């Protein structure tokens, strides 16, 4: 029996995360058959999305699903139409009826997001890589969908523990399924410098040798970084590289003694304390270093943003911090990029167009929050990553072995319990560029651990970034419906008692 007050399960057509803007169930249903073709029209862009879709569908359905540029009224039709202005840069419409399934968008990103919705409307077994029985039916009706926020990010800290290109590709595929469109890479920290910089080669020798706990380190060559950027782009994610300055720099200070005030080298850090390292603000070589690093990173980053960190610079005086951040922001502008920095940017003068990333929590002081509202009042747009909602490195429960808990425990229901438009006083919706879920890796070393920490909480942030409104009492059912899909994809996840796993109608 359904307890009173429980909203009905979403219709089969609406059982999607993030929740679509509009779902109108209709008559009939679309079923894939051995005759089904994927009609991609004449544009190469729709064909690229069609190829991706066929790559998902063919192994599990065992159907040929040929791509064709011929028009027709039947089959899976991928349409890019510049006249569909209401769909914007990322929106789409999915129409499902007997005989035809039509995906329409103005831009390729919208068509790609439509494919993610289509995946979720097919049985979870569609995600498997060997032939499965079917039938492969999409409920009838129309989904019309556009995102609430332009920036829907996920961050991975590859500095505390290193993650390979292959590990990142796997996560990128998982992010794409939930319409995340930014991948923020935290590339440097006290414990490791993870991206090759030609003009400062020791960064990835002495600076990348180890990790938290003293284990082996690692780094990306520029070619590997480009491989990540290109793979992310093929999934419509923009990469935002972060080089954390002026604190969190022990790895760089260990590689280059001349960056230290006294010219004497320090050790790469293998512990997890923060706030003890700083570049030397009064030395000109510091700015040669910053210029070289940001120039080289900008050269290999097609995206518009460079994240320069700026968090927890506790070993830098407030005055030095303001001086340093001003100069570092100017370097970002010089190389044609937009600054992103953690919200401590409030302690400096934000450059025109700068974006600040809020990572406070319910315990953050009124004064610090007011500083962030002050940034918004100056026109700085905000990415919201409240640690007690979006930090995927935090423990779900006190019993968890993995994870930190400085911002409290982050159970799945709590991760959904916020609204970006009202979360910070003095930060209205139009000051919010979007949201981001961050996985810091002090305690996280493997893909399985990363997935366990990310799933299911990542979906809370994905939905807060894409959908307006949303109640936990309803969301939890849509979350439960995703689990068989994770099982088909081999994704490890936390079986939170707050989610009704395996309930009837979950699509299991
Ligand atoms: C903080 C800190 C990071 C930690 C993380 C752990 C920010 C922006 N700086 O978030 O260095 O890894 O918490 O939760």
Q: Which atom of ligand 1 is nearest to the CA of 359?
A: 8
Q: Are 236 and 179 in contact (CB under 8 A)?
A: no
Q: What is the pLDDT of residue 11?
A: 64
- How far from 271 is each of 100, 159, 307, CA to CA, in Å? 57, 12, 24
Q: Which of 311, 372, 395 gets mutated to test ligand 1 (max ligand atoms within 8 A of its CB)?
A: 311
Catalytic positions, please?
A: 312
Q: Are 260 and 201 in contact (CB under 8 A)?
A: no
Q: Ligand 1 atom 9: the closest Cα is on which residue?
A: 311
Give tens-digit pLDDT for 133-163.
999 999 999 999 999 999 999 999 999 999 9
Q: Where in the chain is the domain with CATH 3.20.20.80?
A: 151-469
Q: Which atom of ligand 1 is nearest to the CA of 442?
A: 12
Q: What is the pLDDT of residue 7?
A: 46
Q: Quick one: pLDDT band at residue 106, thresholds 50, 70, 90?
A: very high
Give me the mean pLDDT over the 60-66 stretch.
Answer: 98
Residue 3 in this model has a pLDDT that exceeds 80: no
Give me the mean pLDDT over the 82-89 stretch.
Answer: 98
Q: Which residue has the tokens 């159907």?
A: 63
Q: Quick one: pLDDT band at residue 507, thresholds 50, 70, 90?
A: very low
Q: Quick one: pLDDT band at residue 506, thresholds 50, 70, 90?
A: very low
Cα-to-centroid distance, 286 and ligand 1 (Å): 24
Give me the mean pLDDT over the 269-278 stretch.
Answer: 91
Return the DSSP state at 493: -
Strand, helix or coil at 170?
A: helix
Cα-to-centroid distance, 282 and ligand 1 (Å): 26
CA distance linking residue 125 with residue 501, whole number of Å: 17
Cα-to-centroid distance, 440 and ligand 1 (Å): 7
Per-position DSSP letters for 211-236, written without gaps between them: -GGG-B---B-HHHHHHHHHHHHHTT
Closest CA to 249 of 294, 205, 315: 315
Q: Which two tokens stand for residue 90?
A: 């990322």
Q: Which atom of ligand 1 is nearest to the CA of 393?
A: 14
CA distance linking residue 508 with residue 504, whole number of Å: 8
Q: Which atom of ligand 1 is nearest to the CA of 274?
A: 11
Q: Where in the chain is the domain with CATH 3.30.379.10?
A: 22-146
Q: Which two tokens stand for residue 505?
A: 């109608």
Give tens-digit pLDDT for 477-504.
999 999 999 999 999 999 999 999 998 5
Any atom of ligand 1 within 6 Å of the Cβ of 274: yes
CA distance linking residue 170 with residue 228, whole number of Å: 11
- Please, which residues have CB within 8 angstroms of residue 430's CB and are 6 or more apart in sequence? none
Residue 508 in this model has a pLDDT that exceeds 70: no
Mean pLDDT, the chain, integer: 96
Q: Which residue has the tokens 């057509």?
A: 13
Any atom of ligand 1 within 6 Å of the Cβ of 436: no
CA distance linking residue 292 with residue 202, whole number of Å: 14
Q: Which of 312, 391, 441 gets mutated to test ligand 1 (max ligand atoms within 8 A of its CB)?
A: 312
CA distance linking residue 277 with residue 274, whole number of Å: 8
Q: Quick one: CATH architecture of 151-469?
A: Alpha-Beta Barrel (3.20)
User: For every residue of 109-131, which 3-state class applies, written as one string?
Assistant: HHHHHHHHHHHHHCCHHHHCCCC
Any atom of ligand 1 within 6 Å of the Cβ of 358: no
Give tens-digit pLDDT for 324-354.
999 999 999 999 999 999 999 999 999 999 9
Q: Ligand 1 atom 6: the closest Cα is on which residue?
A: 440
Q: Are 128 and 60 in contact (CB under 8 A)?
A: yes
Q: What is the pLDDT of residue 157?
A: 98
Any atom of ligand 1 within 6 Å of the Cβ of 404: yes
Q: What is the pLDDT of residue 274?
A: 87
Give me the mean pLDDT over the 381-392 stretch.
Answer: 98
Q: Which atom of ligand 1 is nearest to the CA of 391?
A: 14
**Element (DSSP H or E) covering residue 24:** strand 22-31
Give me the mean pLDDT over the 45-70 stretch.
Answer: 98
Any atom of ligand 1 within 6 Å of the Cβ of 440: yes
CA distance linking residue 356 with residue 376, whole number of Å: 9
- Please, which residues have CB within 8 angstroms of residue 490's CB and are 6 or more apart in sequence? none
Any atom of ligand 1 within 6 Å of the Cβ of 244: no
Q: What is the pLDDT of residue 9?
A: 45
Closest CA to 419 of 346, 363, 469: 469
CA distance linking residue 460 with residue 451, whole number of Å: 14
CA distance linking residue 83 with residue 86, whole number of Å: 9
Q: Which residue has the tokens 């070993």?
A: 315
Q: Quick one: pLDDT band at residue 43, thresholds 50, 70, 90?
A: confident
Q: What is the pLDDT of residue 504?
A: 54
Cα-to-centroid distance, 221 and ligand 1 (Å): 25
- Please, which residues have CB within 8 angstroms of residue 275's CB and are 6 or more apart in sequence? 247, 312, 313, 314, 315
Residues of the chain with pLDDT > 70: what percent?
97
Any atom of ligand 1 within 6 Å of the Cβ of 312: yes
Q: What is the pLDDT of residue 38?
A: 98
Q: Kindly give the pairing relationship between strand 22-31 and strand 137-145.
A: antiparallel
Closest CA to 410 of 448, 470, 458: 458
Q: Which atom of ligand 1 is nearest to the CA of 407?
A: 14
Q: Ligand 1 atom 11: the closest Cα is on which residue?
A: 274
Q: Which of 242, 363, 440, 443 gets mutated to test ligand 1 (max ligand atoms within 8 A of its CB)?
A: 440
Any atom of ligand 1 within 6 Å of the Cβ of 314: no
Cα-to-centroid distance, 238 and ligand 1 (Å): 22
Q: Quick one: CATH architecture of 22-146?
A: 2-Layer Sandwich (3.30)
Phi, psi at 469, each rounded to 5°: 70, -155
Q: Ligand 1 atom 10: the closest Cα is on which residue?
A: 359
Q: Quick one: pLDDT band at residue 2, thresholds 50, 70, 90?
A: very low
Give me the mean pLDDT over the 87-92 stretch.
Answer: 98
Residue 6 in this model has a pLDDT that exceeds 60: no
Cα 117 to the chain's mean position, in Å?
A: 17
Give tens-digit pLDDT for 14-42.
999 999 999 999 999 999 999 999 999 98
Any atom of ligand 1 within 6 Å of the Cβ of 405: no
Residue 399 in this model has a pLDDT that exceeds 70: yes
User: For every residue of 399-418, which 3-state class applies, written as one string?
Assistant: CCCCCECCCCCCCHHHHHCC
CA distance linking residue 149 with residue 375, whole number of Å: 19
Give me the mean pLDDT over the 438-445 stretch.
Answer: 98
Residue 4 in this model has a pLDDT that exceeds 60: no
């Amino acid at each position: 029996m359904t307890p009173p007050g429980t909203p009905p399960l979403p219709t089969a057509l609406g059982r999607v995360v993030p929740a679509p803007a509009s779902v109108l169930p209709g008559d009939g249903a679309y079923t894939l058959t051995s005759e089904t073709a994927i009609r991609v029209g004449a544009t190469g862009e729709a064909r690229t999305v069609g190829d991706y879709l066929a790559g998902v569908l063919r192994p599990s359905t065992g159907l040929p699903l040929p791509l064709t540029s011929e028009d027709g009224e039947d089959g899976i039709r991928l349409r890019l139409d510049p006249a569909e202005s209401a769909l914007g840069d990322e929106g789409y419409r999915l129409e499902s009826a007997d005989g035809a399934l039509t995906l329409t968008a103005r831009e390729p990103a919208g068509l790609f997001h439509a494919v993610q919705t289509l995946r979720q409307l097919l049985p979870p077994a569609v995600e498997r890589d060997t032939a499965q029985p079917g039938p492969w039916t999409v409920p009838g009706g129309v989904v019309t969908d556009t995102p609430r926020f332009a920036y829907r990010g996920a961050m991975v800290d590859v500095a505390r523990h290193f993650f390979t290109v292959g590990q990142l590709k796997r996560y990128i595929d998982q992010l794409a399924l939930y319409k995340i469109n930014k991948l923020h890479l935290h590339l440097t920290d006290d414990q490791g410098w993870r991206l090759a910089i030609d003009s400062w080669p020791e960064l990835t020798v002495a600076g990348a040798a180890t990790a938290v706990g003293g284990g082996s380190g690692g780094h990306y060559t520029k070619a590997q970084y480009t491989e990540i950027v290109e793979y992310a782009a093929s999934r419509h994610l923009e990469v935002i590289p972060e080089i954390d300055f002026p604190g969190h720099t022990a790895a760089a200070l260990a590689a280059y003694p001349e960056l230290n005030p006294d010219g004497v080298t320090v050790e790469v850090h293998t512990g997890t304390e923060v706030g003890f390292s700083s570049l030397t603000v009064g030395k000109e070589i510091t700015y040669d270093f910053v210029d070289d690093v940001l120039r080289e990173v900008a050269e290999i980053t097609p995206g518009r943003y460079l994240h320069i960190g700026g968090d927890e610079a506790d070993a830098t005086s407030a005055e030095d911090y303001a001086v340093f951040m001003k100069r570092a922001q100017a370097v970002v502008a010089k190389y044609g990029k937009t600054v992103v920095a953690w919200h401590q940017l409030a302690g400096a003068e934000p450059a025109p167009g700068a974006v600040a990333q809020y990572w406070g929590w319910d315990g953050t002081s009124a004064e610090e929050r007011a500083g962030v509202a002050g940034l918004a009042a100056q026109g700085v747009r905000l990415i919201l990553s409240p640690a007690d909602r979006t930090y995927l490195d935090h423990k779900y429960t006190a019993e968890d072995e993995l994870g930190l808990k400085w911002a409290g425990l982050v159970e799945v229901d709590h991760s959904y319990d916020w609204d970006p438009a009202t979360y910070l006083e003095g930060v209205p919706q139009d000051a919010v560029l979007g949201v981001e879920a961050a996985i810091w890796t002090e305690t996280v070393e493997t893909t399985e651990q990363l997935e366990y920490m990310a799933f299911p909480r990542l979906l809370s942030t994905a939905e807060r970034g894409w959908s307006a409104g949303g109640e936990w009492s309803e969301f939890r059912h849509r979350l439960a419906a995703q689990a068989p899909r994770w099982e088909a994809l081999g994704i490890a996840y936390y079986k939170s008692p707050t989610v009704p796993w395996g309930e009837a109608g979950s699509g299991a």
